[in-house]
């Protein structure tokens, strides 16, 4: 398999959809459904990319991202944040905390695959990290 992707998402249907989509694209996928498990999973699986939901039980995506960016050996891990539609403030906060990009739920499969590919290839965020609208 290709690159390793860790998904932190607590909604089973979204997690299943993401896992299927990314596995079909040739990625090895691991997942956690609780924010408190993220750091351990990162150390165990050494992902090339983290897909991080903002709203997670125990430790939310904001706190998880803050911890990742403050931890030397994983601070450069690319993070694609997942946010609910209409939560502009949450999207901007995730970018301010160091998320590399975000996808709004519900998401387009084509858009998500393109964003994952772009992040794995080290390409910059197309809109300079600003939330439109």
In terms of Cα–Cα distance, which of 35, 41, 45, 5 is closest to 22? 5
Query: CA 80, CA 83: separation in Å to the nearest integer?
Result: 10
Fold of 4-120: Rossmann fold (3.40.50)
- How confident is the model at residue 132, as a pLDDT? 42
Contact, 42 vs 66, CB < 8 A? no
Query: CA 89, CA 44: separation in Å to the nearest integer?
Result: 32
Query: CA 20, CA 99: separation in Å to the nearest integer?
Result: 23
46: left (phi over 0), alpha (psi -120 to 50) or beta: left
pLDDT digit string (tens) for the chain, length 133 residues: 579 999 999 999 999 999 999 999 999 999 999 999 999 999 999 999 999 999 999 999 999 999 999 999 999 999 999 988 667 888 889 999 999 999 988 899 999 999 999 999 987 665 544 444 4
- How confident is the model at residue 55, as a pLDDT? 92
Which residues touch 35 (CB under 8 Å, ≥6 apart)? Answer: 8, 56, 57, 58, 59, 60, 61, 63, 64
Helices (H) and strands (E) in the chain, counts: 5, 5
Cut 0.75: pTM above it: yes
């Amino acid at each position: 398999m290709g690159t390793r992707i860790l998904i932190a998402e607590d909604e089973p249907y979204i997690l299943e959809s993401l896992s299927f989509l990314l596995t079909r694209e040739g990625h090895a996928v691991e997942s956690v459904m609780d924010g408190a498990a993220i750091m351990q999973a990162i150390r165990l699986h050494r992902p090339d990319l983290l897909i991080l939901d903002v709203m997670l039980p125990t430790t939310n995506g904001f706190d998880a991202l803050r911890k990742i960016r403050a931890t030397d050996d994983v601070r450069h891990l690319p993070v694609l944040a997942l946010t609910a539609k209409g939560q502009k403030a949450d999207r901007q906060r995730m970018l301010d905390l160091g998320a590399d990009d975000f996808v709004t739920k519900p998401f387009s499969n084509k858009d998500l695959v393109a964003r994952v590919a772009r992040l794995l290839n080290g390409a910059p965020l197309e809109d300079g990290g600003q939330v439109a609208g």
